[in-house]
Amino acid sequence: MDKNHDKRQQLIFDLLRPGRDAAGGIDPVRPWKRLAAHLNPLIGETGFTALYGRAIRLMQSHYPWLAGEQSMRSTDSLFTNLASQLSSVNATLAAEANLALLDTFSKLLSGLIGEALTIRLLNSAWDDASHQGNAKEQK
Amino acid sequence: MSDKVTLGTLATTVPGLDVLLGGGLSEFSFNLIAGAPGSGKTTLAHQIMFSLAGPQRKALFFTVLGEPPLKMLRYQQQYSFYDLDKVGNSIRYVNLGEDLRMGNFSGVLDRIMREVEAFSPSLVFVDSFRSVVQTAKDGNEGIADLQHFIQELGTRMTSWEATTFLIGEYTQVEAEANPIMTVADGLLYLSQYQERDSVVRKIRIVKMRGREHLSGSHAFRISGDGVRIYPRVLPRVPEMLPKGGSTEASSRIATGTPQLDEMLNGGLPRGHALLVTGPSGSGKTVFSTGFLAEGSSRGEKGVVVFFEKTTPSVRNRKLSELVESGDVCIVESRLLDLAVEELIDDLVKAVQRTGATRVVLDSLSEFGLYLAPECRADIRDAVFRVFSTLAGLGVSVVATIGLEDRVMQADASRAGIAFLADAVVAMRAVETEGRLVRLISVVKVRGSAHSADLREYVITDDGIEIDDRPTGLLPGWLSPRDPGR
């Protein structure tokens, strides 16, 4: 189980690494969009937003500024909100909070559907992200 | 050579299901798996999907507004058939909940087709289809829309060469009257029958176009390995069994009680089911143990089924030695809602695993206590199926049955079970000169002559010892009833 836990964390690190926005900076919301693209067809947008809401709730004591609208139903509105919250603090703190939030979210997911399936989903999201990254580099 | 279309068969490998389906599902068929909540529809659908899906035969599982997908993934993973390696590449889940909430039937159909075209599945599942149906508008227009949607879906899926399964919470009457039924090629109906405190799960193939399927309801159980169905079918009797009346040594087996073998005209005909009747304490279990021990001394394996509150091996030294030596295997049930097919399944597996040639059932009197009330109602039917299956395996059987202590009545035809046995040995006790004397007789042996003696016997540490001559204790003559009484 520890091995799977480490693998999941490594995948989250990897997922956060390649994303860059048009201005060349790190796009903190991009891993979330990748994850949502793979998870929504599987668990539905409702499932995703419910898990996200729970992760935010668990993170509130460490990062009170992450508190947001809990009744949001679309992942797009969640991510817009997250982007604005992360941009309101310094980059180091934002990166740390984003990593912790992704870790908590994936931990909740693995508690429900198991580490093995969660790692598969993170792997798929990572594969897509890296393929898109490579495609951009080739342009 | 026929020009008729040949229906491809998909063997599901779900234990017992292919027997019901006449070999398997028809390829490209459009099926409905119906039943009340908790009847096992989603589990059966998953088991079929994981069994059939692979890189060359991909599966799409659409979840709608039924069981939340997160929960379904969580719980279905617990079954041994759930192969995570297939998820993603060979099996893909797609949630249709949002599409259904947002749009109409045509929107849902378009989404299904988009996903089907993108993934090219050979198997398509929609769970729960009832939630799709429930979004239909009220009135004739809604029904027409729904019928059109179902027909369109059925036609498109079959044209796409996909075998489709719609899963829905329908009662049997609802399912049969539903517009889906006119389009569906197959209807598998799952149910749970409750009587008193026991529940027995049943499956029925109501309809399966193009296949010679088994009709009637068949019991099934859901365990960690998923669904296991117990088809109600009787096996063929093997041809290798000796012909009736043969007294050749090879066609007879020693029972472990030599004097009884003599009364049986040379032993029990091989493959016969011998019913041993007698009151409590008459030595039925002692005789049965001797039967197994005799087999063990000849290198034969045995299987014994006990229907008693504790296994006699705990108190029966000879039997526990046979079990410890590996010559005898015990089949026991701790369940009190047993369907007779489950016992048969356990028995067949034990006989096939050990290569046993002798089987003991001890005793049929308590057998009914282990059966679900629904099966208990007809114990004769249950015993008939057990005997028939064992006959199909070619094993020789000793079954015991307890009788009440009516010392002057040899009630060998109790509950009609004696008619099902090939041979009957009656044990009884009579009171004489201040003591109980035990008597034994051979009541019948199918296709064979046998002794008509009533002989005294005693139970010793070595088993049953029978006198060589008939008893003189009972006169056995008929006397007219006293007209004065």
Summarised one tens digit per residue, pLDDT across range B238-247 is: 555 555 555 5
Highest mean pLDDT among A133-137, B41-45, B232-236, B362-366: B41-45
**Residues of chain A positioned with their CB less than 8 A from the CB of B74:** 112-114
Across the interface, whether the CB atoms of B88 and A113 are under 8 A apart is answered: no
pLDDT of residue B53: 96
Q: Is B36 on the interface with A (CB under 8 A)?
A: no
List all residues 6 or more positions away from B341 whose beta carbon is below 8 Å from its beta carbon: B218, B219, B230, B231, B232, B385
Size of interface A-B (CB pairs under 8 A): 50
Q: Mean pLDDT, to the nearest integer, of B78-94? A: 90
CA distances A27 to B266, B291, B459, Å, are: 91, 80, 89
Tokens 């069981």, located at residue = B67
Give the pLDDT score at B68.
Answer: 74
* Confidence band, pLDDT 50/70/90 cuts, at residue B181: confident
Query: What DSSP string describes A83-138?
Result: HHHHHTS-HHHHHHHHHHHHHHHHHHHHHHH-HHHHHHHHHHHHHHHHHHHHHHHH
Cβ-in-10-Å burial (0-12, 13-18, 19+) of A69 comes to exposed
- A6-47 tens-digit pLDDT: 777 787 777 776 544 444 456 788 889 988 988 887 887 888
The answer to whether the Cβ–Cβ distance between A44 and B69 falls below 8 Å is yes
What share of chain B in percent tops pLDDT 70? 82
The pLDDT-based confidence of B248 (bands split at 50, 70, 90) is low
Residue to substitute from A39, A105, A113, A121, interface B, most B β-carbons within 10 A: A113
Residues of chain A contacting B, Cβ within 8 Å: 40-47, 51, 112-114, 116-117, 120, 124
**Confidence (pLDDT) at A135:** 44
Partner residue opposite A47 with nearest CB, options B68, B77, B92? B68
- In this complex, do B69 and A47 lie within 8 Å of one another by their Cβ atoms? yes
* Predicted pLDDT at B377: 66
Q: Are B403 and B279 in contact (CB under 8 A)?
A: yes
> Contact, B330 vs B323, CB < 8 A?
yes
The model's pTM is 0.74
Does B146 have pLDDT greater than 50? yes
Question: Cβ distance B28 to B161 under 8 Å?
Answer: yes
Structure tokens at B15: 């234990």
Angle (deg, nearest 10), helices B340-354 and B379-393: 20
User: Taking a C-beta distance cutoff of 8 angstroms, is the pair B233, B213 a contact?
Assistant: no
> Distance (Å, rounded) from C-alpha A47 to C-alpha A29?
18
Q: CA B138 → CA A130, B142, B152, B352, distances in Å?
A: 49, 5, 20, 57
Whether B84 and A44 lie within 8 Å, measured CB to CB: no
Instruction: Summarize the confidence of residues B422-444 as an average pLDDT.
Output: 89
Q: DSSP string spanning A29-79?
A: THHHHHHHHHHHHHHHHHHHHHHHHHHHHHHTTT-GGG---TT---HHHHH
The structure tokens listed for B149 are 């949607």
Residues B299-319 as b/e (b if ≥16 CB within 10 A, e otherwise) read: ebbbbbbbbeeebbbeebebb
Residue among B180, B169, B168 nearest B30 (CA)? B180
- ipTM exceeding 0.90, yes/no: no
Higher pLDDT among residues B420 and B370, named by residue: B420
Distances from the Cα of B340 to the Cα of A117, B204, B355, angstroms:
39, 17, 22
Q: In this complex, is the C-beta atom of B73 within 8 Å of any C-beta atom belonging to chain A?
A: yes
What is the phi/psi pair of residue A58, to 5°? -70, -25
Nearest CA in chain B to A47: B70
Residue-level pLDDT at A136: 43
Determine contact: B87 vs chain A, CB below 8 A. yes
Put residue B281 in one of left, alpha, beta given phi > 0 → left and psi -120 to 50 → alpha: left
**Separation between Cα atoms, residue B259 and residue B458, nearest integer Å:** 12
Q: Which pLDDT band holds residue B73 (cuts at 50, 70, 90)? A: confident
**Cα separation of the two ends of chain A:** 41
Comparing CA positions, the residue from B108, B138, B410 lying closest to residue B275 is B410
Q: What is the pLDDT of residues B320-351, one digit of tens each?
A: 899 999 999 988 776 667 778 888 888 888 99
Q: What torsion do the CA atoms of B192, B196, B198, B202 make, to the nearest 10 degrees?
A: -30
The residues facing B199 across adjacent strands are B194
pLDDT tens digits, residue range B9-61? 999 999 999 999 999 999 999 999 999 888 999 999 999 999 999 999 999 99
Report how far residue B75's alpha carbon sits from residue B457's, in angstroms, rounded to the nearest whole number: 60
A45 chain-B contacts, CB cut-off 8 A: 98
CA B432 to chain centre: 47
**Nearest-CB residue to B98 (from A45, A116, A124):** A45
| Mean pLDDT calculated for residue range B392-414 | 71
Amino acid at the residue B392: G
CA distance A111 to A8: 12
Of residues B279 and B137, more confidence is placed in B279
Rounded CA gap, B406 and B183, in Å? Answer: 63
Write the single-letter amino acid at A36. A
CA proximity to A35, closest of A129, A115, A110, A112: A129
B88 touches chain A (CB under 8 A): yes
B85 touches chain A (CB under 8 A): no
Collapsing DSSP states into helix, strand and coil, what is residue B248?
coil
Q: Which of A42, A44, A120 sits opposite B98 (nearest CB)?
A: A44
**Mutate which of B95, B96, B112 to disrupt the A interface (most A C-beta within 10 Å)?**
B95
Residue A76 CB contacts under 8 Å (≥ 6 apart), including other chains: none
Terminal C-alpha separation, chain B: 81
Rounded mean pLDDT, B309-325: 76
Residue type, A10: Q
**What residues of chain A lie within 8 A of the CB of B76, using their CB?**
none
Let me know: does A116 contact A18? Beta carbons within 8 Å: no
